[in-house]
Structure 1
Amino acid sequence: MKKFSLLKIILMFSVFIYLGAGTALASNGNIKSASLEVNLAKQNPDAARPGEPVELTVNVQNVGNANLKDIAVTVNPEYPFSKVSGEELTKKVSYLTARQDDDDAAVLKFKLMTDANASEGTYDIDITTTAKESGSSLNTIATTKTIQLEVKGKEYAQIVTINKASIDLAQKEPLEFIITNTGNSPLKNMVVSWKDPKGVILPVYSDNTKYIKYLAAGDSVTVSYSVMADVNADPGLYTLDVNLKFEDYESNEKSIATTAGLFVGGKTDFDVSFSESDQGEVSLSVANVGNNMAYSVKVSVPDQDGYRVSGSSSTIVGNLEKGDYTIASFNIVSTQSPGVAESGGTPGVARASEKDKNVTSMGSNPLEVQIEYTDAKGERVTVNKEVELETTAGSVNAQGRGRSGSASNSSRFSSYLTYIVLIVVAVAGLFIYRRKKQVEREKESGNKKSEDQKHDSGTGSGTIRD
């Protein structure tokens, strides 16, 4: 029992001696240990932005009891970060003393590129460090530190499309801007406005400002206006200055200025009506009833059922100002009604062939007229119009304002008779007027002779009394 107790005491004493010796050696630096700490000191900017570089400031500190040499610090970027051209991903420190304070730490800077399509969020990046203990080429230490980088979406908006490229003069027309958030972060409190510096194009029913409270990344919104161009404006391309204002994620106001083009002017319209008919020639009045000038106007009568054109079917009438008109004449034969005049009919009446007689009908179709012109944009435009006509055998009249065949002869005879009657009446009136004047002169002459005779008679009586 005594032997066991003595052995136990000896063993315990030996342990205490060993521990004390180890502590003393360690305090004298005879037991060496190495340790490195790597920390992200700063990120510039505080949140990485898509498509922009980000700079990392890294502190490397030796907190162990052994001096270190040949320290290498490597940043291992992963999506959405990548190496910047000309920038190194590994930085070296030649020597770090043991037990460093924070102020003694090595400061290293790295620069990375953020992908342009990076989504908002937090991403991990590994930083690997290797070093050797001073005085020993075999004892190498390695550490890996994972840091987190924040990415904030990029706010950007653009006008993708405008719903039209041109508007007419003095016409209320819709104008729509399609605005898309092409960034990676939502836009808030967005204000959209536009202005024509020349004042030709103006909004109606509202002002030129629209508000959008929220627009998520990748979403689009349509902003609608009703606009009108000055009726007296010169046709041409006008500039719209468009301004977009919005707030970013930090509630800072940003603005984007851009321009768009809008053509004012373009097409016009025409009114075609019957003017007159003479000896088979039909004259049509063509008026520019639109708000734009028409250039190089050509009027044509196309092939159609019920009518046949003798001679040229087209005529160029030149330019037509808005509100102006011109006359276009064609030799037109109707093939719609029976009783076509024979070839030996009255001169001045349009005739139809035997073949035409077989296809005539009692119906009356409108005459199709085609108008071609160049608009203010330089584009060739075709407009089709119809003129209501009344037809008889082989000739054309409009709205009963003309006759053909015997009806035309009767009308012409009636006109001649009217002229003859008017002439006879005029001659008779002149004769009666002159006769009346002659009678009045004769009466005046007779009255004068009577007075003279009375005077002469009075004079003779006096002489006899003497």
Structure 2
Amino acid sequence: MKKTIRIILITILIGLNISFIPNILASVPETSVALQVSFAENPVVLAPGSNGYIELILDNIGTETVKYIDIETSNYDKSVITYQGNWDVYIGSLDGGESTTLIYEFSISSSADPGLYQIIFESDSTASDTKITAFIRVEDSSLLDIESVAPSLINIGEISTLTFNISNNGGNSISSILFTWDVEDSLILPIGADNRISIDLIPANNYTKIPVTLMASPTITPGVYPLAITMTYYDETGNIQTITSNVGIQVSGGTDFEIILQQSITGGTTFAVANTGANTASSVIVSIPKQPNYSTSGSSSASLGNLDAGDYTLASFQLTEMNQNNTKRPGFNQEFSNMPSDFDPSMFESMKNKSFGGAMSDNLIVEISYTDLYGLRQIVEKEVKINSMSSSGSSYMASRFGTGDISGKSALSGQQDPIISTGTMYIIIGIVGILMIVLLLQFGKKKKIPYISKIMKGKNNENS
């Protein structure tokens, strides 16, 4: 009986021990050793003559430490790929679950032919020996350049159209190009469109022209402003490429002048010189150049100093009108020829220092030289109608610049002269009188008019 009980107890204990064995085995932890090697990007796309890098990632996906990790490279075309730095790397150990990244820098020869090149990376460690291949794709570069911009100067407040000449100097066509431009503080803005222009396609070794309509703000200060240009496009590999550039645009309001005959008397001729441009003109000099129809006595140039936009000043010259033979036009200061020997010129003494211009209406050429905003000397040539008298000049200057004192930067009075001045009337009467006297003298000699003959006879007796 006791023997039977012992056998039963032993059997029960054996059964309990067997049921606990799977639990005991399950509590024993599993161990593994595994090293994964990969690339962040493969293939790497580059152009001839450019630099690049390969990013190698080592990841211990096991639980045990991987030891004695050594990376070597082989089987690459050294005539195309030139390594930079150390490409044979000893890492050592990498604990389970850890990772590390290695960067392999290199350059592509500028004479490399387009194609696919490879580099083999070999990993040696306690985990396993692994080989992995990196690929480098060499492609012809697609280069966008801004060859030219015309015009390079715009005027303040005027709508201008700039034409950008964009060329593709690479060996591949470029499509879906986005062209954008911008100016700091929005002092130059697009007109009729925004500052973004899409270009469908530029073939290899070709170009396209882009018109951009814009205007410079009236508040802008004249000078040179940079247009920031950005061009983005997708290359042959589908990657976005961005090209930035700055183009200098000269902003100017322009400087121009108007010159009006203000006054012409015996003492001299006065002109009103007005700056009708948007910029200040510095060191302004007005000159009367040599010309067939007019000459000056004394100085032929007058320095006016600086002339702000919208202001004017006066310049005076001793001006004499000439005929086509470069002699003075007829005037009462000249000696008369072919007159009778008994003709007494003293009757005309009262008309001395009088002059008249005759019927000639050739314009006077006037040169205005000045220094612009960029420090360069400029010359503007104007023609003035000498026969437009001071009345028209006064009324024009008064209406354009207002009224006030004649001080060089204030207005002239708007008073106009009569259509025919008193001096002009005297000149006409004098001319008619001279002609009548000459005709009477000549006619009296031929026809023996009694009164004239008597006068002439008396003159002859006195001479004898």
Alignment TM-score, normalising by the size of structure 2: 0.56
Specify the code of the residue in structure 2 equivalent to 1:387: V
Structure 1 position 160, deviation (Å): 3.1
1:177 and 2:198 correspond: no
Tell me, in whole angstroms, the C-alpha distance in 1 between the residues paired with 2:427 and 2:81: 100
Which of 316, 337, 342 is equivalent to 2:333? 342
Structure 1 position 259, deviation (Å): 2.2
The structure number with the bigger radius of gyration is: 1
Specify the code of the residue in structure 2 equivalent to 1:376: L
Residues 345 and 373 of structure 1: CA distance in aligned 2, closer, same or farther (over 3 Å): farther
Residues 75 and 245 of structure 1: CA distance in aligned 2, closer, same or farther (over 3 Å): closer
**Counterpart position of 1:409:** 426
Structure 1 position 404, deviation (Å): 9.8
Q: Is the 8 A contact 2:277 2:309 kept in 1?
A: yes
Residues 401 and 298 of structure 1: CA distance in aligned 2, closer, same or farther (over 3 Å): farther
Which SS does the other structure have where 2:424 is aligned? helix
Alignment TM-score, normalising by the size of structure 1: 0.55
Tell me, in whole angstroms, the C-alpha distance in 2 between the residues paired with 1:186 and 1:410: 82
Structure 1 position 267, deviation (Å): 3.5
Specify the code of the residue in structure 2 equivalent to 1:341: F
**Counterpart position of 2:187:** 200
Structure 1 position 250, deviation (Å): 3.1
Q: Deviations over 1:351-399 (max 9, x none)?
A: 9xxxxxxxx99543100000111112221110101011239xxxx9898
Structure 1 position 338, deviation (Å): 4.9
- How many residues in Structure 1 have an aligned counterpart in Structure 2? 312
Superposed CA RMSD in Å reads 4.4
**Counterpart position of 1:116:** 110
**Counterpart position of 2:47:** 49
**Counterpart position of 1:375:** 372
Residues 50 and 283 of structure 1: CA distance in aligned 2, closer, same or farther (over 3 Å): same
Tell me, in whole angstroms, the C-alpha distance in 1 between the residues paired with 2:253 and 2:423: 48
Specify the code of the residue in structure 2 equivalent to 1:116: S
**Counterpart position of 1:8:** none
Tell me, in whole angstroms, the C-alpha distance in 1 between the residues paired with 2:154 and 2:217: 11
Which of 272, 280, 285 is equivalent to 2:272? 285
Which SS does the other structure have where 1:210 is aligned? strand
1:253 and 2:270 correspond: no
Specify the code of the residue in structure 1 equivalent to 2:374: K
Q: Structure 1: 5+ residue runs without aligned partners?
A: 1-40, 58-71, 92-108, 128-146, 352-359, 414-466
Tell me, in whole angstroms, the C-alpha distance in 1 between the residues paired with 2:52 and 2:156: 53
1:239 and 2:226 correspond: yes
Tell me, in whole angstroms, the C-alpha distance in 1 between the residues paired with 2:422 and 2:113: 87
Residues 304 and 53 of structure 1: CA distance in aligned 2, closer, same or farther (over 3 Å): closer
Q: Is the 8 A contact 1:271 1:289 kept in 2?
A: yes
**Counterpart position of 1:218:** 205
1:319 and 2:306 correspond: yes
Residues 245 and 226 of structure 1: CA distance in aligned 2, closer, same or farther (over 3 Å): same
Q: Structure 2: 5+ residue runs without aligned partners?
A: 1-37, 56-72, 89-102, 121-133, 335-348, 393-416, 431-464
Specify the code of the residue in structure 1 equivalent to 2:379: T
Sequence identity percentage: 27
Tell me, in whole angstroms, the C-alpha distance in 2 between the residues paired with 1:345 and 1:206: 75
Structure 1 position 49, deviation (Å): 3.3
Residues 347 and 116 of structure 1: CA distance in aligned 2, closer, same or farther (over 3 Å): farther
Specify the code of the residue in structure 1 equivalent to 2:199: I
Which SS does the other structure have where 2:249 is aligned? strand
Specify the code of the residue in structure 2 equivalent to 1:381: Q
Q: Is the 8 A contact 1:188 1:215 kept in 2?
A: yes
Tell me, in whole angstroms, the C-alpha distance in 2 between the residues paired with 1:338 and 1:110: 93
